[in-house]
């Protein structure tokens, strides 16, 4: 009598589904739990991340057992290889999208302004949708004003050195916490999609409540703040000049320079970036904004400050400048890290930035 071969467990597609679901839950939940626990402690969102972590672990374990039991020899090796190959092009974009759309709220260091010797007061003002935004304000002594925007996952206290340069030069300054960070209300989105409207609300507050001259308002932004500043100037013609430091991009359209610089590797990275931003687009109601290269075509004066030790900032800056060569200037700070120009070369940073603002206001 011929013996029947042992049957493989049924329901293989269910095991694969559990493996996929568990992988997505695990990576997303770890990302949320880690970022929120580190920044805020055990909040409701952090607790939700931990619950998701347990659910993801259970689903992944069930899926792994189911798929492993159905595979033999080389099939198991192929499964391990497939998981490893999926980590970067699939899980990394998913984790980045989750971090950007469910970021932790970062706190304001109230002693920062005192340490740099600048006098500021706390103010609040409404965004266009009624969300209460918050920032530090120093009144103008020269008639000009600068809105200061921090980068991703940071607050006004992270750009206090730049704020001090403007305030000590006589500019009125409004250093604003992005929504969902610091003391600003609302939901944070660390790609800055839609944040241009909040910049316009800050300008409204300067004009209507603090005597700001609509013909003398500039914007400085660090990293993501610089990208938001460029986008805002492309839609709000009250912005007379922009200084953007450490800019690389906040949408896949901003990374179109990659193939030109890196060939096929740039093409591959651009595919990954499109996937990343596409996932973010699916997680939030806001859509990706116009590219920075498109925004500069509005023709406002723009100074792009790039870090000497971050070559991609220089490549991105050249790409952006091609959108309006006559109005965009680039200054690379030798030896500086990301947004570190004011720390690496404080005197030169102040001189160049203030000279740029003075020339822009004289147009």
Phi, psi of 3 (to 5 degrees): -80, 140
Predicted pLDDT at 331 = 97
Task: For 123-154, write each residue's pLDDT tens digit.
Answer: 999 999 999 999 999 999 999 999 999 999 89
Whole-number pLDDT of residue 276: 85
Round the average pLDDT of the chain to a whole number and report it: 84
Q: Are strands 217-222 and 145-149 parallel, antiparallel or unpaired?
A: parallel
pLDDT of 85 over the 90 cut: no
Residue whose token pair is 């006589």: 170
CA–CA dist 198, 182 (Å, integer)? 15
Q: Take residue 173 and report the two structure tokens written for it.
A: 């300054």
89-93, 113-117, 133-137: least confident range:
89-93
**Tokens standing for residue 1:** 């009598």
Bridge partners, 133 (sequence order): 125
Q: Are 156 and 182 a contacting pair, CB within 8 Å?
A: yes
Prediction pTM value: 0.81
> H helices of 284-345, where?
292-295, 311-321, 341-344
Which residue has better confidence, 85 or 296?
296
Question: Concatenated DSSP letters for 255-295?
Answer: GTTHHHHHTHHHHHHHHHHHHHHHHHHHHSSSPPPPPHHHH
Give me the DSSP letters along 47-106. HHHHHHHHHHHHHHHHHHHHHHHH--THHHHHHHHHHHHHIIIIIHHHHHHHHHHSPPPP
Closest alpha carbon to 284 in 149, 152, 175, 189? 189
Decide: 324 and 299 in contact? Cβ < 8 Å. Answer: yes
- Residues in a beta bridge with 329: 303
pLDDT at residue 86, rounded to an integer = 61
Percent of the chain topping pLDDT 90: 58
Q: Whose CA is closest to 36, among 98, 117, 126?
A: 98
HSE, CB side, 13 Å, CA atoms: give it for residue 23.
17
User: From CA 327, how far away is CA 336, in angstroms rounded?
Assistant: 24
Q: Residue 20: what pLDDT?
A: 64
Q: Supply the pLDDT for residue 51.
A: 63
**Average of per-residue pLDDT across 22-44:** 59
At residue 1, the pLDDT reads 44
Confirm if 31 and 95 have CB atoms less than 8 A apart. Answer: yes
Asked if residues 200 and 236 have their Cβ atoms less than 8 Å apart, the reply is: yes
What does the alpha-carbon distance between residue 279 and residue 350 come to, in Å, rounded to a whole number? 39
Strands 172-176 and 132-138 turn out to be antiparallel
At residue 210 the predicted structure's pLDDT band, cuts being 50, 70 and 90, is confident
Looking at per-residue pLDDT, the higher value among 29 and 332 belongs to 332
């Amino acid at each position: 009598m011929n013996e029947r071969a042992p049957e493989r467990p049924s329901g293989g597609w269910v095991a694969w589904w559990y493996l996929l679901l568990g992988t997505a839950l695990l990576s997303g939940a770890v990302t949320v739990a880690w970022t929120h626990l580190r920044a805020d402690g055990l909040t409701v969102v952090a607790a939700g991340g931990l619950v998701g972590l347990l659910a993801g672990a259970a689903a992944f374990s069930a899926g792994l057992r189911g798929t492993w039991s159905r595979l033999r020899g080389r099939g198991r090796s192929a499964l391990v290889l497939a998981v490893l190959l999926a980590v970067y092009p699939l899980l990394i974009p998913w984790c980045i999208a989750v971090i950007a759309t469910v970021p932790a709220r970062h706190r304001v260091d109230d002693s920062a302004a005192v340490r740099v010797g600048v006098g500021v007061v706390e103010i609040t003002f409404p965004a266009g949708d009624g969300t209460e935004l918050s920032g530090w304000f120093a009144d103008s002594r020269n008639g000009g004003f600068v809105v200061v925007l921090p980068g991703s996952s940071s607050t006004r206290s992270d750009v206090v050195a730049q704020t001090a340069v403007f305030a000590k030069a006589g500019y009125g300054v409004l250093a604003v916490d992005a929504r969902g960070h610091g003391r600003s209300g609302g939901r944070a989105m660390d790609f800055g999609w839609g944040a241009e409207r909040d910049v316009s609300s800050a300008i409204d507050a300067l004009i209507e409540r603090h005597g700001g001259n609509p013909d003398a308002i500039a914007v400085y932004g660090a990293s993501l703040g610089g990208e938001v500043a460029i986008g805002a100037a492309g839609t709000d013609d009250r912005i007379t000049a922009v200084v953007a430091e450490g800019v690389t991009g906040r949408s896949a359209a901003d990374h179109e320079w990659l193939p030109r610089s890196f060939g096929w590797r740039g093409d591959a990275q651009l595919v990954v970036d499109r996937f990343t931003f596409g996932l973010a687009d699916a997680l939030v109601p806001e859509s990706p904004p116009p590219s920075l290269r498109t925004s500069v075509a509005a023709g406002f004066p723009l100074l792009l400050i790039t870090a000497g030790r971050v070559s991609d900032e220089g490549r991105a800056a050249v790409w952006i400048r091609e959108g309006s060569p006559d109005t965009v200037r680039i200054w690379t700070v030798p030896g500086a890290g990301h947004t570190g120009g004011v720390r690496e070369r404080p005197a030169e940073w102040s001189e160049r930035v203030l000279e740029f603002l003075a020339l822009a206001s004289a147009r």
